């Protein structure tokens, strides 16, 4: 099993839709989790950290399920500009060494 797994997609959704991605991780000792956004041929940019109690930033909601070892990202009211690849990042247990998922591609169409 890979350390961090994501469905590569693509997820094709219309503007205004709600879409959710999951990311599973294998190391139960992992403590830190993040969602990044990467546009084509660009560097990843931090979207949000994922906290144990779940957290929300505008249209974006991140949640952590430790029992099932996954994190999720929910995007409400999708915009065309949300089209990108969404990467989940998990720090190896007890460290700050990042492991990336392969990313989930989102395409929002008019």
Closest separation between CB of residue 57 and another protein, Å? 13
Q: Specify the stretch interacting with another protein by CB under 8 A; choose among 17-25, 53-61, 68-76, 95-103.
A: 95-103
What are the CA-CA distances from residue 43 to residues 36, 46, 84 (Å)? Answer: 10, 10, 12
Q: Specify the stretch interacting with another protein by CB under 8 A; choose among 13-21, 42-50, 57-65, 67-75.
A: 42-50
With H, G, I as helix, E, B as strand and everything else as coil, classify residue 59.
coil
Under the binding rule (CB under 8 A), the answer on residue 86 touching another protein is no
Strands (E), the chain: 4-6, 11-14, 19-25, 33-38, 45-50, 55-57, 60-65, 70-75, 84-91, 98-100, 104-109
Under the binding rule (CB under 8 A), the answer on residue 63 touching another protein is no
- Judged by CB under 8 A, the residue of 90, 97, 106, 108 near another protein is 97
First to last CA, the chain: 37
Number of residues that bind another protein (CB under 8 A): 24
Chain contacts with another protein (rule: CB under 8 A): 31-32, 34, 38, 41-46, 49, 87, 89, 91, 94-103
């Amino acid at each position: 099993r890979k350390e961090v797994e994501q469905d590569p997609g693509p997820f094709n959704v219309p503007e205004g839709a709600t879409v959710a991605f999951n990311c599973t991780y294998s190391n139960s000792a992992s403590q830190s989790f993040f969602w990044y956004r990467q546009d084509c041929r660009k560097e990843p940019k931090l979207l949000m950290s994922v906290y144990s109690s779940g957290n929300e930033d505008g249209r974006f909601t991140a949640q952590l399920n430790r029992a099932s070892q996954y994190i999720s990202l929910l995007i409400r009211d999708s915009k065309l500009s949300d089209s990108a690849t969404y990467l989940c990042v998990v720090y190896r247990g007890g460290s700050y060494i990042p492991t990336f998922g392969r990313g989930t591609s989102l395409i929002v169409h008019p």
